[in-house]
Amino acid sequence: MAEQEVIKHTKKIFSVWGEKKSFWHKLREFVLEILIIVFAITLSIYLHDRSVKKHQDHETKEFLLGLKEDLKTDIAEMDSDRVSYLKSGLAFAYIANRKINELPDPDTLEKYRNWILNTTGLIPNSGRFEGFKSSGKIGTIDNKELQNNIMDLYQEDIPNVIVSTNSYTQKKQRLFDYLATNRKRITDSTDNFATVMGSDHAHNISKNLSYVGEIIQRYDTCISKMKAIIKGIEEEYGK
């Protein structure tokens, strides 16, 4: 509609000078038509920008509300992972604190078996963020504190957790390799697990694995940042 108005008034500008009227009358009409064209173009740009902004705001809202649900799932997983690392730290501290020639108690080892023999790693729900970022839309989040928290979480905090947990898993793999080489059956229902875990080699590995403070701290940082992001989203759009 605005384009048609511009064309119509542009044609009128050219026709003004062909009319049999005074120069000043023609000039007034010329200026008026120019003003009408400028107004029409300005209005068209304003309406277009408003439409684009409305569409961007809708996409941003959909992203943030979806991200909120992703973060709730991630927090639940991180809380579970955090407990696993706390218990792994306790299990390996128990083994590392045995005196020379003091074998770990088989019943205590059995209690800690899952934490000794399993690995834990974070698989974040980052697909939504990666898609939104790769499309160049992160800048459409008007709340800059919220925007910065989201970027810090996915580009710094979560990668830090993954680096720490991957390193821990690599250390644990050394224990798995040692157990695979040295573990033997004593009877059909028993083995030498306690003896192997009481060895100097297992002691040294366990001492290293008992230090989980950095991992716990990084999980806490992520969980705190996620809760701050959820709060920011709720402040923007309500619960």
pLDDT at 190: 83
Beta bridge partners of 134: none
Beta bridge partners of 185: 191
Q: pTM for the full model?
A: 0.78
For residue 137, is pLDDT > 90? Answer: no
More confident position, 37 or 158: 158
pLDDT tens for residues 96-108?
999 888 899 999 9
Would you place residue 20 in the very low, low, confident or very high pLDDT band (cuts 50, 70, 90)?
A: low
More confident position, 33 or 13: 33
Alpha carbon distance 2, 4 (integer Å): 5
Which of 84-101 are b and which e, b meaning 16 or more Cβ less than 10 Å from the residue's Cβ? Answer: bbebbbebbebbbebeee
pLDDT tens for residues 32-77?
666 666 666 676 676 656 766 776 778 889 999 999 999 999 999 9
Cα–Cα separations (whole angstroms), residue 169 to 154, 192, 212: 21, 23, 12
Question: How many other C-beta atoms lie within 10 A of the C-beta of residue 59?
Answer: 14
